[in-house]
Amino acid sequence: MKKLIFGGIALFFFAALISCTEKQPQNDDADIDAVPDPLQKMVSALVLEDGISKWTENEQGIMVFEESSELGELVQVFMIRDHDNPDEFIPEMKTALRADFLQRDFYHVMTDDGQELWMQDYYLAVNAVPGIILTENTFLYSEPDASTDYIDARKFPQYHFVGIHESESNDDFLCVSAFVYKWFEPGVSILVEKQYVRADAVTSDPVDAEVLNLLHAAESLDNKTQKQEVLINALLKGGNFNNLIVEAFAELGVELPLPQETLIGEEPNDTLLQAYPMMPGSSAVQVDFMTSDDTDWYKITIPSENSIVRIYTESKLNTIMSLYNGEGELIAEDDDSGHDNNAQIAGDLYPETYYIDVKEINGDTGAYSLYVIVYNDLHGTLDKLNAAENDISPFTAKPYVYPYEDYKHYAWDFENDNAIIDVRNKPGISNSKVIFTLPSRTEVVVIAETNEKETIDGYDYAWLQVTVPSMENRSGWIYDLYVINSEQ
């Protein structure tokens, strides 16, 4: 994989670097001795690429793979005093050989679960918080000034994770770092280190980072049911990427409602009896808090079972929202879990009428918008799609007849007695899902076998339908590698 340095645009065999600052040299142990308590603090750092390795150092000083990181993951970097400038801190670094005998520079990091590990320096944005590029036409600047030249005329990739260095940003420009794969051409990656983008081109809302990570996770899943569940979780988070969630559901054959044109709310709606009716499906209303103690009430009727509802505000104010059932009982309340610390309530609701109460927590006045989106029978729609898909199979089956009455069958991995064996809802690896698992050596009764075989890991196997006596004869499919017979 080729990598570039921005500046002269020269090819660099190991890593690409766009930088307005030079990397600090590593302190020697002798240098540190003169500074009391050299390890003074830790700062957050953002992982800039998916699947980046974390390493441990063995007794020979070789870095050995420990685990992988996720794009957008936050770790803590150990910081030590700079010998040349004792008032400043720099990352604790080490140059070492990896297990593949390539020499690299590593940062000393701590993960969320308290592990002390090492990560290669050019995949981390140190002292940074997560951000995501929102717009299609985002360019890099060498200085926080629109009059400076673009570093490159190519557009920064939309929806790309960046690390935002808040201490070096201002209201108009954000200082960012990023690792951009295939920016110029296939196989060419660029490290952008502390360059500038317009502030309105980036979101730093933690909700957006969570949603984008969920969308990335859904893309990587082959199991459609798991993909749907991840997308539902993303849907209920809110944020700026509702359009991407709608597109992902559309690829699964599900059309989601979008917020309708915003209507102007009507006063008075200061009590539950005066609640302003929101239309079922998706509704949006723009309202003003008229006085410091103004309370606005709304009502919504959920028409069908298995519906998912998302209720949220958009405003620069500090809203708080409460949800009541038809009996007037409080069932949910939220202050700032939505986008930009707006109020949001989301989840499954039963069919009935609900009441929504919205206030400004600090008593400020001004405008806000309330959105109520009802995804009618979303779970039911997905279940029907999955059921229809599960009816289609390339396999046919016949009853299983075994001539020896004195033998029993067992789900058994003969290479590993401690193995867990997957039992699937139908034959075939690619178009089935795991419905339960069995410990090796569990007795099963074989009731059917497929006429066709499937090539798995280079070998041809038939699929066997089994029931499990110890699990109230629960039924599923296992390929015949993991079903053996033994005399009673």
pLDDT per residue as tens digits for the range 175-233: 999 988 766 555 567 788 898 999 999 998 888 888 888 888 888 777 777 788 888 88
The three-state secondary structure class of 152 is coil
Measuring CA to CA, which residue among 208, 140, 138, 136 is closest to residue 177? Answer: 140
For the domain spanning 397-487, the CATH number is 2.30.30.40
pLDDT tens, position by position, 422-445:
898 888 887 777 878 888 888 899
- CA–CA dist 313, 358 (Å, integer): 9
- Domain ranges for the chain: 1-204, 206-251, 263-381, 397-487
Could you give the percent of the chain with pLDDT greater than 90?
Answer: 21
User: How would you class 464 by CB atoms within 10 Å of its CB: exposed for 0-12, middle for 13-18, buried for 19 or more?
Assistant: buried
Residue 433 burial (CB count, 10 A): 15
Round the average pLDDT of the chain to a whole number and report it.
80
The encoded tokens of residue 398 equal 């016949």
443 DSSP β-pair partners? 410
Query: Within a 13 Å sphere around the CA of 218, how many CA atoms are in the beta-carbon half?
Result: 25
Please give the class, per CATH, of domain 263-381.
mainly beta
Say if CB 189 and CB 183 are below 8 A apart.
Answer: yes
* pLDDT given at position 105: 92
Residue 118 pLDDT exceeds 70: yes
Instruction: Report residue 138 as tokens.
Output: 């985002």
Mean pLDDT of 234-246: 82
- Highest mean predicted confidence (pLDDT) among 161-175, 306-320, 473-487: 161-175
- Beta strand pairing call for 74-82 and 85-91: antiparallel
Paired sense of beta strands 18-19 and 188-198, if any: parallel
- Provide the pLDDT for residue 35: 44
Q: Provide the 8-state DSSP code for 141.
A: B
Euclidean distance between CA atoms 391 and 193, whole angstroms: 52
Give the whole-number percent of the chain exceeding pLDDT 70.
81
Beta strand pairing call for 434-439 and 420-424: antiparallel
Which residue from 137, 121, 217, 136 is spatially nearest to 177, judged by alpha carbons? 121
Report yes or no: 52 and 118 within 8 Å, Cβ to Cβ. no
Q: What is the mean pLDDT of residues 276-280?
A: 78
- CA dist 159 and 140 (Å) reads 15
Classify the C-alpha dihedral 225-253-347-303 as positive or negative: negative
d(CA 182, CA 186): 5
